Amino acid sequence: MQIPAHIATLGTETAFEVLARAQALAARGRSVINLGIGQPDFPTAPHIVEAACRALVDGHHGYTPANGIPALREAIVADLDRRLGVAVDPAQVVVVPGGKVTLAFAAQIFGGPGAEILIPDPGYPIYRSLVELSGASAVGYPLHAPGGAGFSADEVLARITPRTRLLIVNSPANPTGGVVPAAELERLVAGLERHPQVFVLTDEIYARLVFDTEHTSLLRAASLRARLIVLDGLSKTHAMTGWRLGWGIWPGALAELATRLAINLFSCVNTAAQHAAVAALTGPQEHVERMVASFAGRRDAIVAALAGLPGIRCARPGGAFYAFPDVSGTGFTARTLQDRWLEELGVATIAGTSFGARGEGHVRFSYASSLADIHEAMRRLGGWLHDHVA
Ligand code: PLP
């Protein structure tokens, strides 16, 4: 059987591979602490679960409009108006099964052979894999460690060529937890005025998970609106990774194109999940505030613990739920540490190289785990590092 090269070489997300290995170890009776996968350890709030149950009992069992039920698209724009003070037409919203589907659509629309798409390196690995699946080239721009600028607008702008069709921006960022300062985003927006052919996809899936500053949304940049796609969803903010509910906000005629892609690929998102999403966006928000406060405390705990380990330096991430320490002082590659810590200590982490070549020398820790698990993982790592690092 001949498999086309772009399929045969399709990339992946190491977090799922590590999750499977961690689960296999746990099934054999090992004590495993999973700081690998990026998902909140909180259950979905009861009022959201009840809304899904009610939708099923009330008979919402059929297809919905492909771009999502009107009540959900209206709830999404009302939430943007409330949080950011920006007006978006519900017709620009396309509801999809999870945040990454908006990326898949954008890669199809802007990619293809000959196109270049700018992605952060290190960055969420699905950026590169979906861009390359479309036949386009993924061009990495450097993402600096948290505590630094996130990215430098000049370094991003310097990589734009006549072939560049799309720029992907992610703040707060996976895997660094870095938050791009508002001034740097403003410099980027100003510089993009010299490149009117370049569209921008802003991945704001961690927008509400910020600890020290306000999140700056590119949606507020009026000069970008006609060429801005916003990726968002409920996975992280509302602890709903398994519900598969995300959306894109598309400019101009692209919403209709994205809707046609939805019709071709999945018809519509699970109806009960859409009703749950209305409850998530319009109902009480205390569960989000509690989760963010809890992540802020865990951030402080893991950063303090990592700073005390030999060979490790950790800056203080401002958002999401990832720490991305520099582990180069251990003398081991990131991949070796990932594999040995999982096999020898039962601590799952993700090598920085899973997020791009510039991730070497770093390991990603997801701290969306209990404080007790974080402390136990750090205790195991501490013992190992004392034995293995000179
Ligand atoms: N964007 C980033 C930066 C992510 O880290 C993730 C998930 O890890 C996603 C998008 C996709 O989220 P979802 O699970 O809703 O597809």
173 CA: nearest ligand 1 atom: 3
**Residues 252, 293: one domain?**
no
Number of domains, the chain: 2
List, in sequence order, every residue forming a beta bridge with 323; answer none if it has no partner.
365
pLDDT at residue 100, as a whole number: 96
With a 6 Å cutoff on the Cβ, whether 129 touches ligand 1 is no
**Residues 278, 291: one domain?**
no
pLDDT at residue 149, as a whole number: 62
pLDDT at residue 147, as a whole number: 55
**Residues 269, 202: one domain?**
yes
Residues near 79 by beta carbon (within 8 Å), at least 6 away in sequence: 281
Ligand 1 pocket test: pick from 14, 44, 174 the residue with the most ligand atoms within 8 Å of its Cβ: 174
pLDDT above 60 for 146: no
**Residues 221, 361: one domain?**
no
203 CA: nearest ligand 1 atom: 1
pLDDT tens-digit series, residues 65-75:
999 999 999 99
Distance 174 CA to ligand 1 centre (A): 9
User: Domain boundary residue among 242, 258, 282?
Assistant: 282
pLDDT above 60 for 379: yes
Higher pLDDT, 61 or 12: 61
With a 6 Å cutoff on the Cβ, whether 111 touches ligand 1 is no
**Residues 83, 128: one domain?**
yes
DSSP 8-state assignment for residue 328: G
Distance 2 CA to ligand 1 centre (A): 31
DSSP 8-state assignment for residue 384: H
pLDDT tens-digit series, residues 209-234:
999 988 999 999 999 999 999 999 99
Distance 390 CA to ligand 1 centre (A): 38
pTM score, two decimals? 0.96
Ramachandran quadrant class, 132 (left: phi over 0; alpha: psi -120 to 50; beta: rest): alpha
pLDDT above 90 for 187: yes
With a 6 Å cutoff on the Cβ, whether 97 touches ligand 1 is no
Distance 224 CA to ligand 1 centre (A): 23
Inter-axis angle of helices 286-307 and 371-388, nearest 10: 20
Q: Is 339 exposed, middle or buried (0-12, 13-18, 19+ CB in 10 A)?
A: middle
Q: Which residue has the tokens 């399709």?
A: 10
**Residues 222, 325: one domain?**
no
**Residues 179, 113: one domain?**
yes
38 CA: nearest ligand 1 atom: 8
pLDDT at residue 148, as a whole number: 62
pLDDT above 90 for 5: no
Ligand 1 pocket test: pick from 37, 169, 205, 355 the residue with the most ligand atoms within 8 Å of its Cβ: 205
- For position 232, which CATH number holds? 3.40.640.10
**Residues 121, 84: one domain?**
yes
Residue nearest to atom 5 of ligand 1 (CA): 174
**Residues 206, 245: one domain?**
yes
pLDDT tens-digit series, residues 291-303:
999 999 999 999 9
pLDDT at residue 267, as a whole number: 97
Q: What percent of the chain has pLDDT over 90?
A: 91
With a 6 Å cutoff on the Cβ, whether 235 touches ligand 1 is yes
235 CA: nearest ligand 1 atom: 15
Average per-residue pLDDT for the chain: 95
**Residues 23, 72: one domain?**
no
Q: Let me know: does 167 contact 198? Beta carbons within 8 Å.
A: yes
Q: What is the mean pLDDT of residues 91-116?
A: 98
pLDDT above 60 for 380: yes
**Residues 115, 258: one domain?**
yes
Distance 99 CA to ligand 1 centre (A): 5
Q: Which residue has the tokens 């009302």?
A: 78
Distance 30 CA to ligand 1 centre (A): 29
Q: How many distinct helices (H) and strands (E) make up the chain?
A: 13, 12
pLDDT above 80 for 144: no
Domain that holds residue 346: 5-44+286-388
How far is the C-alpha of 387 from the C-alpha of 177, rounded, in Å? 29
With a 6 Å cutoff on the Cβ, whether 13 touches ligand 1 is no
- For position 344, which CATH number holds? 3.90.1150.10
**Residues 249, 319: one domain?**
no
pLDDT tens-digit series, residues 233-274:
999 999 999 999 999 999 989 999 999 999 999 999 999 999
User: Domain boundary residue among 267, 282, 297?
Assistant: 282
124 CA: nearest ligand 1 atom: 3
- In 179-296 the beta strands, taken as DSSP E runs, fall at 199-203, 228-233, 246-249
When pLDDT is cut at 50, 70 and 90, the band that residue 390 belongs to is confident
User: Domain boundary residue among 282, 317, 351?
Assistant: 282
